[in-house]
Amino acid sequence: MAATYSELATRQCRSRYKKRYAGEQGIIKPRGKQCTGKLWKRQTAQRTVEATAAAMSTILHSALQRLVARTPIQMSVRFWERKKYIRRYGYESPLHPPGYLPRLPKETKKLTAQPIYTPKDAWCERRALFGQNDYIDILGSGDVKPIDIMKGVPNWLRGFQGNEFQMLLRKRPIVYHWRKSRPTDFHNLNKRIRFLYKVLNHRTRSK
């Protein structure tokens, strides 16, 4: 099998390197009684292996240098960056920096000022007729009371004075028919009564 040009060049370089290395180290086979036989062969083989390894490393180093010179190394670095977004786009902060109040062009709210004084109308309908039914029976016997002429008020609520718990206790027997017609409302009514019972008996001071 014919050797290629690169193999022949490698062999030639290797043989030259062996001769030069042997001459420098002084391992040329001596003549006469100085030749010890096996010892010299062992040293020669060891030094030959070292020389061959050095030659191969030199060849590989030169080849790598040529490759690097022609094709430079490209190192790819992975880098990831989050896409930038516009935060709070269109948001206008209602807060102003400390100090004096600025006069901003987009400020639509006017500055608060003291209202202009306008005298009250003492003879308007609400003030003129206030308390007109306080003396409904001033010329009679005095048996008629204001609650007797109240209109638009349920009978169980007319003349009532008390808290919410007492009012619901008066209302429950009147709306007892809600159990069938309006069960949800009746359930909420009882639930509210139970809650107010616990509040008044466990969380408030007794008079």
- Three-state SS for 65-109 is HHHHHHCCCCCCCCCCCCCCCCCCCCCCCCCCCCCCCCCCCCCCC
The per-residue pLDDT for range 22-66, each reduced to its tens digit, is 554 454 555 554 445 666 677 777 778 788 888 888 888 777 776
Q: At residue 163, does pLDDT exceed 80? A: yes
Q: Whole-angstrom Cα distance, residue 133 to residue 113?
A: 41
What's the domain range around 45?
Answer: 7-25+38-68
Does residue 81 or residue 183 have the better pLDDT?
A: 183
* CB-based contact 175:186 (threshold 8 Å): yes
Q: Check residue 44 and give its pLDDT.
A: 75
Q: Let me know if residue 103 belongs to a domain.
A: no
Q: 5 in helix, strand or coil? A: helix
Cα separation, 169 vs 197, in Å, equals: 11
15-28 pLDDT, tens digit each: 655 555 555 445 45
Report the domain count for the chain. Answer: 2
Question: Would you say residue 96 lies in a domain?
Answer: no
Instruction: Flag the least confident range among 12-16, 82-86, 137-141.
Output: 12-16
Q: Assess if residue 45 is contained within a domain.
A: yes
pLDDT(205) > 60 = yes
* Helices 183-202 and 164-171: angle between axes, nearest 10 degrees: 140
Query: Looking at 46, 68, 90, which one is the last position of a domain?
Result: 68
User: Within a domain: residue 130?
Assistant: no
Residue 151 lies in a domain: yes
Domain presence at residue 132: no
Tell me: pLDDT of 166 over 90. Answer: yes
Domain presence at residue 113: no
The 8 Å CB, 24+ separation contacts for 12-20 are 13/55, 13/59, 14/52, 14/55, 17/51, 17/54, 17/55, 17/58, 18/48, 18/51, 18/52, 18/55
pLDDT tens-digit readout, 86-125 = 888 888 777 766 667 666 666 666 777 888 999 999 999 9
Ranges 31-45, 138-152, 155-169, 183-197: which has the least confidence:
31-45
Residue type, 202: H
Residue 55 lies in a domain: yes
| Structure confidence at residue 72 as a pLDDT band (50, 70, 90) | low
> Rounded to two decimals, what is the model's pTM?
0.37
Secondary element (H or E) of residue 173:
none
Beta strand spans in the chain (E): none
